[in-house]
Amino acid sequence: MKTHHEYRLELGEGERVHAERDVDGSVHPRPHRERAERIALMETCPYEMSEAIGKESIVMHQGDAISVNVSTGGMLLLMDQSPRVDQVLQVRVPRAAKAVSQVALAEVRWTRHLPIESGGSMYLVGVRFLFAPYSYD
């Protein structure tokens, strides 16, 4: 697992490029993205994910995550397991002002381990919506 640090490189008159430095010392520019407004929203979010085991078996994982915040592009979840980066989840997205839940396909972009004093573990999981969430009855 690579760890990295974030840098801003000054190029000239007010021009900046965001970059990351890997543990081997190499610096990689990354595109600057405008971040969508995040809404703090702590609610239970049921999810499903599948995992291929060999060539002929698929295991389905179901559980409940807790949303930490939501934006138009994705959300931050608190989960009791760590899905792999690039894993696709089907997650029910909470809506603060609507009674109808929304279901979305979301791709895991990053995870962070949160050790629990009692010896357990929780994970912060950042996901990006692949498609706009759709209504769920």
In what helix (H) or strand (E) does residue 45 lie, and over which residues does it extend? strand 44-53
Residues 12 and 77 in one domain: no
End-to-end CA distance of the chain: 40
CA distances from 42 to 62, 65, 79, 88, 114 (A): 19, 10, 12, 21, 17
pTM score: 0.67
Task: Tell me the CATH number at 103.
Answer: 2.40.10.220
Q: What's the chain's length in residues?
A: 137
Q: Residue type for 8, please?
A: R
Those residues whose C-beta lies under 8 Å from the C-beta of residue 4, and which sit 6 or more positions away, are 20, 21, 22, 23
Residues 25 and 59 in one domain: no
CA distance 126 to 119: 23
Residues 83 and 58 in one domain: yes
Mind listing the pLDDT tens digit for each residue in 7-26? Answer: 444 444 444 444 555 556 55
What is the number of structural domains in the chain? Answer: 2
Instruction: List the structure tokens of 101.
Output: 């839940």
Residues 70 and 94 in one domain: yes
Mind listing the pLDDT tens digit for each residue in 51-86? Answer: 888 888 888 889 999 999 988 889 999 999 999 999
Residues 69 and 131 in one domain: yes
Residues 77 and 16 in one domain: no
Averaged pLDDT, 32-36:
54
Structural domain boundaries, residue 19: 1-33
Residues 118 and 79 in one domain: yes
Average pLDDT, the chain: 76
Q: How confident is the model at residue 4, as a pLDDT?
A: 41
